[in-house]
C-alpha cells in the first residue's frame, strides 16, 4: 500500500473519529437499523442480561456503527481518500501489513475495555476501534464483545463488504494477527449455502438475507396469494431443519412447566385453518421515504400476502399445559434462525391474544394447503392474525409464557412507531410500545404507476387490496381520480367472517369514472375499517424514522390513452 494511501487513511481516521464523536448518539440510535440500513444502497437488543445479549449489542453498536458511518466515510472520500479506484479493498484484511506489528490472539483479547482500548480482528487485520465505540450509558455492553474476531458477524451481515466500510475499518488498523490464530473462513462455511430456491418474479430488496416482494400487479389477481409469490422477509439465513428430529419447546416461566412437542404430536392436535393476511410493518415504506428518508428495506406495496394457514391452536397447547389467560403476561416466540452470537430471531405477543378463542393464533405447518415451505417457516411458524408480520415468528423453536415481552432487538428496538419529530438523536425505544395490531391500509395493484390505460364508457378498471389489523373487516374502499373532488366506492371481495375475527384481506375492484378530456390522472385509494378508522391523507404527518405503519392514501399516476 502506498504511503499516500496510508496518510489518506490517517486523515480519514482522524476525520471520521471527530465526526463519530459528533454523531455517537446517532450511531447508537441507528443500531435498530444495523441489519438493513445498507441493503440496497441505503435501506432496512434488548436489555437482556446474558453475555449473548451484550455481544449482540456489540454487533449492533460497534459493527453496525461501521455501517452507520457509511455517510462519514463518504465525507472522508470527499476529503482525501485514495484516488486509485482499483485498490483491492476486499483484500486488505487478508494481507499482512509490513509496516505494522504482529499480535497473538491472547494479546488482542486483553484489549476489551475503553481504558485498555478496544481491539477487534478481521481476517488477519487487527483494529483499534476505541475511538469508534461511542461512550454512552450502555457502553459496558460493548466491552464484552471486544477483543475478538468480527469475521463471523460480517459473514452474515454482508453489507459491510463494501469499499466505504472496509476503508474505514482499515483506517483503524494497528497490526496483523498471528496467522495461526486467524479465523478460517473455510472452516466457518457459508451461512448462505443452504438458501432455498425462489421464484424469479420475487423482486429482492436484499439478497442476503433474502427479502423480496412480488410485483404488486399480481397481488390482486388471487384472493389467496400463491405461496411462491408470497413476499419473503428474512433477517438471517434460512435455517436447515430436519422435520423428523424437530422439537418445539413450550415453557412457562416461574412455574417451571415445560414440554417438548414433536411435529407429529403437534399434527395430532385438532387442526384448524385461518385465512390471514401477513403484512410487514414496513410495507409501503418506499412511499414514506419520499417525504424524508427513513431507515429500512425499501418495500413497495407488496410486503403483504393473504393465505390459508393450517395448524394447531396455540391456545390448545397452552391450555393443555395449564396456562390461564392473564392480561399482563406475554408469549415469547423464538425462531431456529440464529445470528452469529447464536441469538435467535424472537418476538412476543400478549398472552391474552394467544388465549383468546377469537384470536385464532395458530402454529401453522401448512400454507394454502401445502406443507409450509422453507422461506415461510418450515416446519412450523406462528400465525398471529391481525398482528404485524414481525410477530409471526417462523421456524419456531421455543414458546415461552413470561411476565415480560421478548427481549429481542426486534421487539425492543425495532417495529415501533414514533412522532414525525423524533429523529435518531432523540429516539428512545423504551417510550413506544411494540407494534401489534396494524392500522388500516389499501393499495392500488392495477393499473401500475405510469401505465397507459384505456377508458370504457368514461371509466377505467382499477383493483387492489385493503386490510386492517386486529380482526377488523374492511367496510369500504373509496377511490378518486380527480384529487378527491368525487369519490367512487369499490366492490369488495372478502371472507364472510364476523368483525373482530376477520383476518384475511379484502380484494376490491371498480370501474372508476375519470375526468373527461384529461390525459394524465392520479388515482387515490383509501380504505375504511369496521371501526371507521381510515387512512391518513399523506405521509407527511405520520412519517417516522423507521418507516413503519406507512398507510397513507395510495396514489398511482396513469396516462389515459
Ligand atoms: N424466525 C423468523 N421469523 C420471522 C422473521 C425472521 O426473520 N425470522 N421475519 C419476520 C418479519 S419482519 C415478517 S414481515 C414476517 C414475514 O413472513 P414471510 O417471510 O413468510 O412473508 O416474518 C416474521 N417472522
Ligand atoms: Mo417485517
Strand partners, 523: 556
pLDDT reported for residue 143: 58
Q: For a pLDDT cut of 70, what percent of the chain falls above it?
A: 80
CA 191 to chain centre: 18
Q: Structurally, what CATH architecture does the domain formed by 203-426 represent?
A: Alpha-Beta Complex (3.90)
Which ligand minimizes its atom distance to the CA of 389? 1
Average pLDDT over residues 432-438: 98
Task: Check: CB of residue 292 under 8 Å from CB of residue 362.
Answer: no
Instruction: Output the DSSP codes for 7-26.
Output: HHHHHHHHHHHHHHHHHHHH
β-strand pairing of 102-103 with 173-177: parallel
Which residues contact residue 504 at a Cβ distance below 8 angstroms, ignoring those fewer than 6 apart?
223, 275, 276, 277, 306, 467, 494, 495, 497
Q: For a pLDDT cut of 90, what percent of the chain falls above it?
A: 67
Higher pLDDT, 181 or 304: 304
Q: Tell the residue nearest (CA) to atom 4 of ligand 1.
A: 393
Q: Per mean pLDDT, which range of 126-135, 228-237, 496-505 is the poorest?
A: 126-135
CB of 309 closer than 6 A to ligand 1?
Answer: no
Task: Check: CB of residue 392 under 8 Å from CB of residue 382.
Answer: yes
Q: Tell the residue nearest (CA) to atom 20 of ligand 1.
A: 376
301, 372, 390, best to mutate for ligand 1 pocket (most atoms within 8 Å of CB) = 390
CB of 395 closer than 6 A to ligand 1?
Answer: yes
CB of 235 closer than 6 A to ligand 1?
Answer: yes
Active site members: 136, 160, 233, 280, 415
Closest CA to 26 of 545, 422, 426, 416: 426
Which ligand minimizes its atom distance to the CA of 285? 2
Confidence label for 203 from pLDDT (cuts 50, 70 and 90): confident
Average pLDDT over residues 66-94: 52
β-strand pairing of 370-371 with 271-279: unpaired
pLDDT reported for residue 155: 67
Backbone angles phi, psi at 459, to 5 degrees: -125, 155
CA atoms 433, 436, 440, 442: torsion sign = positive
Task: Check: CB of residue 437 under 8 Å from CB of residue 466.
Answer: no
**Residue 379 grid cell:** 416446519
Average pLDDT over residues 76-88: 46
Q: Tell the residue nearest (CA) to atom 18 of ligand 1.
A: 232
pLDDT digits (tens, 9 = 90+) for 12-34: 333 333 333 333 333 333 333 33
Backbone angles phi, psi at 454, to 5 degrees: -100, 145
pLDDT reported for residue 158: 65
308, 392, 414, 546, best to mutate for ligand 1 pocket (most atoms within 8 Å of CB) = 392
Q: Per mean pLDDT, which range of 119-128, 258-267, 276-285, 316-325 is the poorest?
A: 119-128
pLDDT reported for residue 81: 38
Pairwise CA distance, residues 272 & 360, whole Å: 9
Residues of the chain with CATH 3.90.420.10: 203-426
Does residue 102 register a pLDDT over 80?
A: yes
Mean pLDDT, the chain, whole residue set? 84
**Three-state secondary structure string covering 119-148:** EEEECCEEEECCCCCCCCCCHHHHHCCCCC
Does residue 40 register a pLDDT over 90?
A: no
Higher pLDDT, 404 or 43: 404
Element (H, E) at 250: strand 247-252
Backbone angles phi, psi at 127, to 5 degrees: -130, 140
Task: Check: CB of residue 130 under 8 Å from CB of residue 103.
Answer: no
For the chain, the C-alpha Rg in angstroms (whole number) is 25
What ranges in 79-134 are assigned the alpha helix state H?
A: 105-109
DSSP code at position 229: G
Which ligand minimizes its atom distance to the CA of 230? 1
Pairwise CA distance, residues 485 & 478, whole Å: 12
Average pLDDT over residues 249-259: 95
Q: Tell the residue nearest (CA) to atom 16 of ligand 1.
A: 233
pLDDT digits (tens, 9 = 90+) for 272-306: 999 999 999 999 999 999 999 999 999 999 999 99
**Residue 511 grid cell:** 370501474
**Residue 6 grid cell:** 496510508
CB of 345 closer than 6 A to ligand 1?
Answer: yes
pLDDT reported for residue 134: 64
* Residue position matching grid coordinates 487478508: 94
Confidence label for 181 from pLDDT (cuts 50, 70 and 90): confident
Atom of ligand 1 nearest to the CA of 235: 7
Task: Report the separation in Å between the CA atom of 283 and the middle of ligand 1, taken as the mean of its atom positions.
Answer: 13
pLDDT reported for residue 411: 97
pLDDT reported for residue 179: 82
**Residue 172 grid cell:** 483503524
Task: Report the separation in Å between the CA atom of 452 and the middle of ligand 2, taken as the mean of its atom positions.
Answer: 33
Which residues contact residue 227 at a Cβ distance below 8 angstroms, ignoring those fewer than 6 apart?
307, 367, 368, 370, 373, 376
CA distances to 77, 123, 250, 425 from 367, rounded to whole Å, are: 49, 42, 23, 42
pLDDT digits (tens, 9 = 90+) for 154-166: 666 666 778 888 8
Task: Report the separation in Å between the CA atom of 295 and the middle of ligand 1, taken as the mean of its atom positions.
Answer: 18
CB of 337 closer than 6 A to ligand 1?
Answer: yes
Q: Per mean pLDDT, which range of 17-26, 267-276, 352-361 is the poorest?
A: 17-26
Task: Report the separation in Å between the CA atom of 394 and the middle of ligand 1, taken as the mean of its atom positions.
Answer: 6
206, 219, 233, 368, best to mutate for ligand 1 pocket (most atoms within 8 Å of CB) = 233
Which residues contact residue 485 at a Cβ distance below 8 angstroms, ignoring those fewer than 6 apart?
none
Pairwise CA distance, residues 157 & 455, whole Å: 49
Task: Report the separation in Å between the CA atom of 311 and the middle of ligand 1, taken as the mean of its atom positions.
Answer: 18
Pairwise CA distance, residues 363 & 309, whole Å: 9
Task: Report the separation in Å between the CA atom of 357 and the middle of ligand 2, taken as the mean of its atom positions.
Answer: 25
Q: Which fold has domain 441-560?
A: Immunoglobulin-like (2.60.40)
Confidence label for 424 from pLDDT (cuts 50, 70 and 90): very high
- pTM value surpassing 0.85: no
CB of 97 closer than 6 A to ligand 1?
Answer: no
Atom of ligand 1 nearest to the CA of 232: 19
Helix (H, G, I), strand (E, B) or coil at 474: strand
Q: Per mean pLDDT, which range of 183-187, 327-331, 512-516 is the poorest?
A: 183-187
β-strand pairing of 491-493 with 344-350: unpaired
CB of 393 closer than 6 A to ligand 1?
Answer: yes
pLDDT digits (tens, 9 = 90+) for 533-542: 999 999 999 9
Atom of ligand 1 nearest to the CA of 280: 14
CA distances to 454, 482, 515 from 518, rounded to whole Å, are: 12, 10, 6
pLDDT reported for residue 393: 98
Does residue 76 register a pLDDT over 50?
A: no
pLDDT reported for residue 152: 65
Q: How far apart are the first and last CA of the chain?
A: 60
CATH of region 57-187: 3.10.120.10
The burial class, CB within 10 Å (0-12 / 13-18 / 19+), for 513 is middle
pLDDT reported for residue 316: 97
pLDDT reported for residue 191: 84
CA atoms 531, 535, 541, 545: torsion sign = positive
CB of 278 closer than 6 A to ligand 1?
Answer: yes
Which ligand minimizes its atom distance to the CA of 210? 1
* Residue position matching grid coordinates 419529530: 421
Residues of the chain with CATH 3.10.120.10: 57-187
Pairwise CA distance, residues 415 & 393, whole Å: 14
pLDDT reported for residue 374: 98
Task: Report the separation in Å between the CA atom of 402 and the middle of ligand 2, taken as the mean of its atom positions.
Answer: 23
CB of 230 closer than 6 A to ligand 1?
Answer: yes
Does residue 443 register a pLDDT over 50?
A: yes
Does residue 142 register a pLDDT over 70?
A: no
Task: Report the separation in Å between the CA atom of 156 and the middle of ligand 1, taken as the mean of its atom positions.
Answer: 17
pLDDT digits (tens, 9 = 90+) for 474-487: 999 999 999 999 99
CB of 394 closer than 6 A to ligand 1?
Answer: yes
CB of 389 closer than 6 A to ligand 1?
Answer: yes
Task: Report the separation in Å between the CA atom of 86 and the middle of ligand 2, taken as the mean of its atom positions.
Answer: 38
472: preceding bond cis by omega (within 30 degrees):
no
Higher pLDDT, 183 or 24: 183
Average pLDDT over residues 430-434: 97
Pairwise CA distance, residues 70 & 160, whole Å: 10
pLDDT reported for residue 157: 65
Amino acid at each position: 500500500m502506498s504511503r499516500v494511501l496510508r496518510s489518506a487513511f490517517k486523515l480519514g481516521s482522524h476525520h471520521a473519529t471527530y465526526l463519530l464523536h459528533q454523531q455517537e448518539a446517532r450511531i447508537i440510535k441507528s443500531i435498530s437499523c444495523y441489519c438493513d440500513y445498507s441493503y440496497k444502497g441505503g435501506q432496512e437488543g434488548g436489555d437482556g442480561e446474558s453475555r449473548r445479549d451484550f455481544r449482540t449489542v456489540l454487533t449492533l453498536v460497534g459493527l453496525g456503527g461501521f455501517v452507520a458511518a457509511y455517510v462519514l466515510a463518504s465525507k472522508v472520500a470527499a476529503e482525501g481518500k485514495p484516488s486509485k479506484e482499483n485498490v483491492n479493498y476486499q483484500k486488505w484484511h487478508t494481507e499482512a501489513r509490513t509496516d505494522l506489528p504482529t499480535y497473538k490472539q491472547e494479546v488482542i483479547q486483553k484489549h476489551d475495555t475503553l481504558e485498555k482500548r478496544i481491539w477487534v480482528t478481521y481476517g488477519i487485520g487487527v483494529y483499534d476501534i476505541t475511538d469508534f465505540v461511542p461512550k454512552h450509558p450502555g457502553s459496558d455492553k460493548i466491552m464484552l464483545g471486544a477483543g475478538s474476531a468480527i469475521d463471523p458477524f460480517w459473514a452474515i451481515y454482508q453489507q459491510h463488504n463494501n469499499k466505504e466500510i472496509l476503508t474505514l475499518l482499515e483506517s483503524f488498523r494497528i497490526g496483523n494477527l498471528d496467522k495461526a490464530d486467524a479465523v478460517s473462513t473455510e472452516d466457518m462455511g457459508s451461512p448462505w449455502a443452504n438458501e432455498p430456491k425462489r421464484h424469479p418474479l420475487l423482486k429482492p430488496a436484499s439478497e442476503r438475507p433474502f427479502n423480496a416482494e412480488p410485483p404488486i400487479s399480481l397481488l390482486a389477481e388471487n384472493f389467496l396469494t400463491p405461496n411462491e409469490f408470497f413476499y419473503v422477509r428474512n433477517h438471517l439465513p434460512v435455517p436447515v431443519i430436519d422435520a423428523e428430529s424437530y422439537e418445539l419447546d413450550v415453557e412457562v416461566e416461574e412455574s417451571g412447566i415445560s414440554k417438548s412437542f414433536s411435529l407429529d404430536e403437534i399434527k395430532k392436535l385438532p387442526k384448524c385453518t385461518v385465512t390471514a393476511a401477513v403484512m410487514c410493518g414496513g410495507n409501503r415504506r418506499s412511499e414514506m421515504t419520499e417525504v424524508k428518508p427513513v431507515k429500512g428495506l425499501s418495500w413497495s406495496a407488496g410486503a403483504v400476502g393473504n393465505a390459508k394457514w393450517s395448524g394447531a391452536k396455540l391456545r390448545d397447547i397452552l391450555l393443555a399445559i395449564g396456562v390461564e389467560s392473564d392480561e399482563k403476561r406475554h408469549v415469547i416466540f423464538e425462531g431456529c434462525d440464529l445470528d452469529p452470537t447464536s441469538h435467535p430471531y424472537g418476538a412476543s405477543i400478549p398472552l391474552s391474544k394467544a388465549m383468546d378463542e377469537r384470536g385464532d393464533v395458530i402454529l401453522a405447518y401448512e400454507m394454502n394447503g401445502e406443507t409450509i415451505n422453507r422461506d415461510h417457516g418450515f416446519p412450523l411458524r406462528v400465525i398471529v392474525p391481525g398482528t404485524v408480520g414481525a410477530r409471526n415468528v417462523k421456524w419456531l423453536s421455543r414458546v415461552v409464557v413470561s411476565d415480560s415481552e421478548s427481549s429481542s432487538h426486534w421487539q425492543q428496538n425495532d417495529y415501533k412507531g414514533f412522532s414525525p419529530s423524533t429523529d435518531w438523536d432523540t429516539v428512545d425505544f423504551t417510550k413506544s410500545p411494540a407494534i401489534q395490531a396494524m392500522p388500516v391500509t389499501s393499495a392500488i395493484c392495477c393499473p401500475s404507476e405510469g401505465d397507459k390505460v384505456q377508458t370504457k364508457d368514461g371509466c377505467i378498471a382499477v383493483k387492489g387490496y385493503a386490510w386492517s389489523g386486529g380482526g377488523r373487516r374492511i367496510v369500504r374502499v373509496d377511490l378518486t381520480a380527480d384529487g378527491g373532488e368525487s369519490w367512487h366506492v369499490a366492490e369488495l371481495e372478502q371472507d364472510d367472517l364476523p368483525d373482530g375475527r376477520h383476518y384475511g384481506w379484502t380484494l376490491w375492484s371498480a370501474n372508476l369514472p375519470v375526468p373527461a378530456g384529461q390525459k394524465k390522472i392520479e388515482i387515490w385509494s383509501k380504505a375504511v375499517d369496521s371501526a371507521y378508522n381510515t387512512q391518513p391523507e399523506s405521509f407527511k404527518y405520520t412519517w417516522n424514522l423507521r418507516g413503519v405503519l406507512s398507510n397513507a392514501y395510495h396514489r398511482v399516476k396513469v396516462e389515459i390513452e
